[in-house]
Structure 1
Amino acid sequence: MRFVGGEGPLTGWSKFEVQYPDDPKYHITGADSQVLTVNMAGGDKVLTEPGTMMFMSDYVKGSTQCGGCLQRCCAGESCCTMVMENTQQTMGFVGLTPNFPGKVIPVDLASDAVSGTLLCKAGAYMAHFGEVEIETDFDCNPFRACCGGAGFVRQQLAGTGTVFLNSTGTIMQKTLAEGEKIVVDTNAVLAWADGVDMDLQSAGGCCGCALGGEGVFNTVFTGPGLVMVSSMTLDQYRVAVAPEPRG
């Protein structure tokens, strides 16, 4: 996995875009409400959230896996996982799309920027192939959990395979150097490598916190490792397209 596009010389942030290898196993189509197509050799499996299947070869069969049901529910996911398996030795495919108007974000867990474990906001997981364990990470710090933008329960994706997250908005990414810090709006937090330390700092004085529009706290990430943020959360998107009527 490589990241390309628009990296500023001062910020180090860049828009997340996928640059495919010479022989890609997957392809992402569309600018939004994207479609992920995964090529499947005989016996290959793709695990995905229920309701994401859009099309597939007739010999790709789906089954349901309910292991870790409680943990998955706590992390904002369905209690079950769909297992899509190519039951023949002929090349097949499966097409998946998020359950909301969002983008598909592939992350190679074996990349140097991630080093095997990725933490992400609850509900961010969409699908994966390869060796990936879908786990739950508990943040036992009430201050950070309540005010840091990720909650008490985060998703932990560990292994050497490729995971696909889904999110609304524009996705930005930055790989932090050892000891490098970056301040992020708590609502923008999407995912970060396990080697990245997460903390909080005040968004300003009393007047700034009350009237500045940024809330009371900001999230602080300290490297090394990958940090990913989104410009608009699903909740913000829902409010924007269907605002509540004023009384």
Structure 2
Amino acid sequence: MKYKIFGNSFPAVSIKMDRGESIYTQSGGMSWMTDGIRMDTNTHGGFMRGLGRMFSGDSLFMATYTAERDNQEISISAALPGEVHVIEVGPGKSYIAQKGAFLCAQQSVQLDAVLTKKFSSGMFGGEGFVLQRLSGRGVAFLELDGAVCEYTLAPGERLKVDSGNIAYFEEQVGYSVETIKGFKNVLFGGEGLFLTVLEGPGKVWLQTMTAADLATKIVPYIPVSNN
């Protein structure tokens, strides 16, 4: 399998596959493909796993695309301006991603919904109660919002992140929330009541934009009917 990420601020990934190779993506994720690719739609791992994916921002059904001839091509586009990242998943290399980050992956990569370790983290952390876990072995692609910055945290090193700006992180990275201190900071600081805390060791990737923030900026410009 060969791939190419293109599109600058409106990214997509083009994947070339030979006979028998396949990828899967959420239902409706394909943009275009050549004629020698077969599509199969299923829950990819069973109904319960599909239901968990729904809570983590993806669809109940997944579409599997399999090349029936050599040198076939499929393109899958991100839904928002940002970046497409490729990650290598393998033993000891699992990742936790924001809801809805999954774009597509090889069949050998497992996508599961995962609960945050602490209930308070899920209730008040920017990523919500359910995140996405990518494990197994193979190549996966994530769609991230805005520009993305990478940090490598040393053991015990902590990074405080505003709600929603976590893109993904290595599974061994600790994840919790803390309350913003100071009455005036809470009321007038614009950051809300909680910050997410990531603790090393491990790598984290942060995004400059969130879908919710983008929607908030667009809403005032949407025409409203007076009828």
TM-score (norm 2): 0.89
Q: Please point out which of 205, 212, 216 is paired with 2:189.
A: 212
Deviations 1:107-134 (A, max 9, x none): 22249xxx32111121111111252111
Within a 5 Å distance, the mapping from 1:91-130 to structure 2 comes to 91-110=71-90, 115-129=92-106
Report whether the alignment pairs 1:164 with 2:141.
yes
Identity %: 26
Report whether the alignment pairs 1:39 with 2:20.
no
Within a 5 Å distance, the mapping from 1:49-198 to structure 2 comes to 49-66=26-43, 67=46, 68-88=49-69, 90-110=70-90, 115-129=92-106, 131-139=108-116, 141-198=118-175
Q: CA RMSD in A?
A: 2.1
Deviation at 1:70, TM superposition (A): 1.0
Q: What corresponds to 1:12 in structure 2?
A: none
Unmatched tracts of structure 1, length 5 or more: 1-23
What letter matches 1:47 in structure 2?
Y
Deviations 1:47-102 (A, max 9, x none): 112222122121111110213221111111111111010012x2211111123444
Report if aligned partners of 1:130, 1:162 keep a CA contact under 8 Å in 2: no
Report if aligned partners of 1:55, 1:95 keep a CA contact under 8 Å in 2: yes
Structure ranking higher in strand proportion: 2
Once residues 189 and 83 of structure 1 are traced to their aligned partners in structure 2, the CA distance between those partners, rounded to angstroms, is 28
Report if aligned partners of 1:181, 1:220 keep a CA contact under 8 Å in 2: yes
4+ residue segments displaced more than 3 Å: 99-102
Once residues 184 and 83 of structure 2 are traced to their aligned partners in structure 1, the CA distance between those partners, rounded to angstroms, is 36
Report if aligned partners of 2:16, 2:71 keep a CA contact under 8 Å in 1: yes
Once residues 55 and 136 of structure 1 are traced to their aligned partners in structure 2, the CA distance between those partners, rounded to angstroms, is 28
Counterpart secondary structure, 2:220 = coil
Aligned length in residues: 220
Is the deviation greater in 72-81 or in 196-205? 196-205
Once residues 5 and 60 of structure 2 are traced to their aligned partners in structure 1, the CA distance between those partners, rounded to angstroms, is 26
Unmatched tracts of structure 2, length 5 or more: none
Q: What corresponds to 1:6 in structure 2?
A: none
